Amino acid sequence: MARQAETVADVIDDLTGIVDWSKNHGSPLGYFAALYRKVTIEVKRGIDDGRFDDGPRMERLDVLFARRYLDAFASFRDGGRPSRSWVFAFDVTEQWWPIVLQHLLLGMNAHINLDLGIAAARTVPPEQLPDLRGDFDEINEVLASLVGGVQEELAQVWPALRPLNRYLSRTQGVLINFSMEKARDHAWEVAERLAPLGMSEQSSTIERLDGDVVDLAHLIRHPGIVAGTVTKLVRLGERGSVRRIIDVLE
């Protein structure tokens, strides 16, 4: 990933590189990348089909959004230190106990609760931000439609997860502590907060927001005694190699 992505097609290529690298290295880093690539392919299809009000503007948003993740991944892999929320999500991939869903949620937490608002604020001039709201909501609809079926997809590989998935859905507020709708609304609030600020003011605000996102990451990773016990049962039932899990997520 020497060159920086300029188009959605470039983003898909870069995500493919991360997925392939993760398969070859047996790294759970590929779980989020696989899901994200699927989302990005759907966004590109939407742009090509005229699903969004302004296709070029949506491509700009998508690329700025994706770069936050791509740059964080490249920095982390090369020994650098990206945002704390991404460091937390990446570090967890070295641990055995987190279940696949937690890996995905930690990636979504960093990318939606922090990166999405930053990207939206930098896509258009501040006075044009309200015009972006419709397409902003639409891209989140794409994300939600693909994320919603992840637990059921994984249960196709591990049938024992189905009854536990039903329990997890009932305790979702404890385990996840955010819904896609809440995350979307939070990201838009971040965009509105950042848009009128200069770059130096944005940087200091982003640093504080990053700390809040890390706090939520801790709750996702350690959701309490009851939900934590359930995730351990799920983890003990998970079967298959990292490559196989990535294939399912793709």
Interatomic CA distance for residues 107 and 72, integer angstroms = 11
What is the rounded average pLDDT of the residues 200-210?
A: 96
Average confidence score pLDDT of the chain: 88
At residue 15's C-alpha, the angle toward residues 10 and 17, to 5°, is 95
Does position 248 have pLDDT exceeding 70, yes or no?
Answer: yes
Q: Which pLDDT band, with edges at 50, 70 and 90, does 174 fall under? A: very low
What is the rounded average pLDDT of the residues 158-171?
A: 58
pLDDT for 2 equals 53
Please, are residues 175 and 233 in contact by the beta-carbon 8 Å criterion?
no
| 3-state SS record for the chain | CCCCCCCHHHHHHHHHHHHHHHHHHCCCHHHHHHHHHHHHHHHHHHHHCCCCCCHHHHHHHHHHHHHHHHHHHHHHHCCCCCCHHHHHHHHHCCCCCCCHHHHHHHHHHHHHHHHHHHHHHHHCCHHHHHHHHHHHHHHHHHHHHHHCCHHHHHHHHCCCHHHHHHHHHHCHHHHCCCCHHHHHHHHHHHHHHHCCCCHHHHHHHHHHHHHHHHHHHHHHHCCCHHHHHHHHHHHHHCCCCHHHHHHHHC
pLDDT for 52 equals 95
CA distances to 8, 53, 128 from 49, rounded to whole Å, are 14, 11, 24
What type of residue is 83?
A: S
pLDDT tens figures, 42-96? 999 999 999 999 999 999 999 999 999 999 999 999 999 899 999 999 999 999 9
What is the rounded average pLDDT of the residues 231-242?
A: 84
Between 52-66, 157-171, 183-197, the lowest mean confidence (pLDDT) is in 157-171
Interatomic CA distance for residues 129 and 119, integer angstroms = 11
pLDDT for 173 equals 42
pLDDT tens figures, 209-232? 999 999 999 999 998 898 788 788
Does position 245 have pLDDT exceeding 70, yes or no?
Answer: yes
